[in-house]
Structure 1
Amino acid sequence: MDFGSFLLAPEIKVKIITYRDIFQDKAMRENRFGEEYKNLSAVIKLDPADLKQLNVKKGDTVILKNEFGRVVVRAEESGYETPHRGIAYMPKSPWSNMLVSDETGGTGVPKFKEISVTVTNAKGEKITELMV
């Protein structure tokens, strides 16, 4: 066993903003449990500097966790020109919903827009599977 195996993987805290995606919606209508829907939905888009800090490359998997859940998704670069460290984007999906609080503040509507999570490198873990 080498010394590096005892070091913790870098982690960062981000706020996730969820959004709707027309391509993801089309894939969901065709097959909610299909690979295309999973590839378009189980993804988090991060600032390039955040990816670098995590030592994660585009397409690697990352662990997202908070007090409400834990999920493994694929990391992508956001593609925005303006830096947005600490802000990440995720399509509304079963994967993002695993991190949403059940507390609604009496409104009956969960808070989907500012989900606080810790992100770490998943080191090859597979994307979290949906239970059918």
Structure 2
Amino acid sequence: MGFGQFLSSPEVKLRIVTYRDAFQDAAKVESLFGEEYERLSATILLDAKDITKLSIKENDTLILKNKSGSIVVKAVESGYEQPHPGTAYMVNSPWSNVLVPEEAGGTGVPAFKDFEVVASNSKGAKVTGIKDIV
């Protein structure tokens, strides 16, 4: 038993922006339950500052949660030239859809493209599997 097990993981509030990806779409056509589709879908692209705030390394897993749900995904540095702390990117997929707020703000259309989550280190938990989502 180490002292570190009693310390809570840092939490960071993130705005998630979803996008489409041709490679992920091709992997979905090949197999919705395939490893390639999961690898390309269950990932969050983060700014380097957010990775530091979360005390994680690239390819560690994160828990993302909000009122709509909770999932574990792999964290990857975005590599974008422009800094974007507080804003993260996820491909449109069953993993991002778990977190889409149910409220539609009177429009009848949920906010698939832009919503908030709280992210924290999953401490080595496995990525949420597609069979746990669908």
Letter of the 1:111 partner, please give it. A
**Secondary structure of the residue that 1:90 maps to in structure 2?**
strand
* TM-score (norm: length of structure 2): 0.94
Q: C-alpha separation between the residues in 2 aligned to 1:130 and 1:92? A: 14
Residue aligned with 1:100, SS: coil
- CA-CA distance at 1:108 after TM superposition: 2.8
> CA deviation digits over 1:89-129, x for unaligned, max 9?
00000000000112223433210122100000111100101
Is 1:85–2:59 an aligned residue pair?
no
Contact 2:38-2:130 within 8 A present in 1 as well? no
**Cα RMSD, aligned residues only:** 1.1
Q: Residue 108 of structure 1: SS of its match in structure 2?
A: coil
> Which residue number corresponds to residue 27 of structure 1?
27
Aligned partners of 2:23 and 2:130: how far apart in 1? 19
Aligned to 1:96: 96
Identity of aligned residues (%): 58
How big is the shift at 1:73?
A: 0.3
Gaps of 5+ in 2: none
Q: In structure 2, give the amino acid aligned to 1:95.
A: W
Match of 1:48 in 2: 48
* TM-score, normalised relative to structure 1: 0.95
1:1-132 equivalence runs, <5 A: 1-131=1-131
Cα offset, 1:2, TM superposition: 2.2
Matches of 1:11 and 1:105, distance apart in 2: 27
Residues paired across the two proteins, number: 132
Unaligned runs of 5+ in 1: none
Runs of 4+ in 1 over 6 A off after TM superposition: none
Q: Give SS of 1:110's match.
A: coil
What per-residue deviation string (whole Å, max 9, x for no partner) do you get for residues 8-46 of structure 1? 011100000000000000000110110000000000000
Cα distance in 1 for residues equivalent to 2:85 and 2:105: 28
How far does residue 68 in structure 1 lie from its aligned partner after superposition?
0.7
